[in-house]
Amino acid sequence: MTPEGISAGGNVSTVRHFVLLGFSDLPELQGFLSGVFTIIYLVVVIGNSLIITITILDPALQRPMYFFLANFSSLEICYVSVTLPRILFNIWTQNRNISVLGCATQLYFFLILAATECFLLAMMSYDRYVAICHPLHYSLLMNPKKCAQLAAASWLGPVPVQIGQTCQIFSLHFCKSNEIAHFFCDIPPILKLACGDTSAQEVSACVITMLFAAVPFTLILTSYSKIISTILRLPTAQGRAKAFSTCSSHLLVVVLFFVSASTNYLRPKTSHSAGTDTLLSLLYTILIPMFNPLIYSLRNKDVIAALKKLFLQMQCHVSS
């Protein structure tokens, strides 16, 4: 019997729409999951919006470090918005169908934003490298024009490559099933549904992952090796602690994001399972973006001071 959503075309059946199965195996927890994901989405949007607001309004944060942080917070809102609203829609309506075009669009934006996150994290590490290792040249090397160019390259650089990758994946015929064992359209579960040879797409995905993840990660490791070397040569313990505090939050975010994402995409195809893919994807697509505002605010005195100032101004405005 031809599954719903699959129609026969000549000798090959083609999918008309997909079904996102993510969390459908937990019917008794749908209400709980709806509440949890709603809270997470609000935390991500509100937390990152606060960071963007204070970096714009507070003169003390008009520095390259916080310019990149504002870009990163904007990215996190977009990144989570690619997946979480769709999860909530599926749970609220119990309609898990997504058109092929909708699935391709979701995958396209997810891949672009994931690549942009890798590049922005690399730009942020470069900023810390220049600030700590070449402080006398910092204002020259990280001038506003240079920062804008680096940010623009991070946002726009992945676009043409990911257009090509998305088109390559959705040029396949999907005839095995139309059920995606995941909560969003991602490369590994989509390739499992394709009929015929998918080795070209798998190699392409691996190469692009290496380009957009391994290369930035290598640059980050190189930057931090030089940063740590410079910090250890500082004459006082107070100076070393102050220097390391300016980059510890970023380093924590880097480790959490790259370890979880690379583990998911660079594992052999035979080791992929729906449960493991879902847990890893939850970590780097939803949970880490939720914790990022907390990591950057709680570990940064300038951000804490700016937030306190903003809240005081809001209280004064309300009381007046």
pLDDT at position 290 over 60: yes
pLDDT at res. 24: 86
Q: What percent of the chain has pLDDT over 70?
A: 90
What residues does each domain of the chain span? 17-267+275-300
Mean pLDDT value across residues 254-260: 79
Euclidean distance between CA atoms 140 and 176, whole angstroms: 57
Residues 6+ apart with CB under 8 A from 316: none
H/E run at residue 232: helix 215-232
Residue 10: per-residue pLDDT: 46
pLDDT at 214: 85
In the block, tokens 């030089």 appear at: 226
Burial of 320 (0-12, 13-18, 19+ CB in 10 A): exposed
Dmax over Cα atoms in the chain, in whole Å?
75
Q: Assess whether pLDDT exceeds 50 at residue 127.
A: yes
47-61 as b/e, with b when 16 or more CB fall inside 10 Å? bbebbbebbeebeeb
pLDDT band for position 2 (cuts 50, 70, 90): very low
Q: What is the pLDDT of residues 12-67, one digit of tens each?
A: 547 788 999 988 888 898 999 999 999 999 999 999 999 999 999 888 889 998 99
Lowest mean pLDDT among 53-67, 97-111, 266-280: 266-280
pLDDT interval class at 78 (50, 70, 90): very high
pLDDT bin (cut points 50, 70, 90) of residue 242 is: confident
Rounded to whole angstroms, the Cα distance separating 294 from 204 reads 36
Query: What topology does CATH give the domain 17-267+275-300?
Result: Rhopdopsin 7-helix transmembrane proteins (1.20.1070)
| pLDDT of 278 higher than 50 | yes
How far is it, in rounded angstroms, from Cα 32 to Cα 255?
A: 30
CB 181 within 8 A of CB 190: no
Q: What pLDDT sits at residue 167?
A: 94
The CA angle 283-288-292, to the nearest 5 degrees, is: 175
Decide the pairing of beta strands 17-20 and 179-180: parallel
> Residue 170: its pLDDT value, please?
92
| Consecutive H or E run containing 92 | helix 64-93
Tokens in use for 136?
Answer: 């006398």
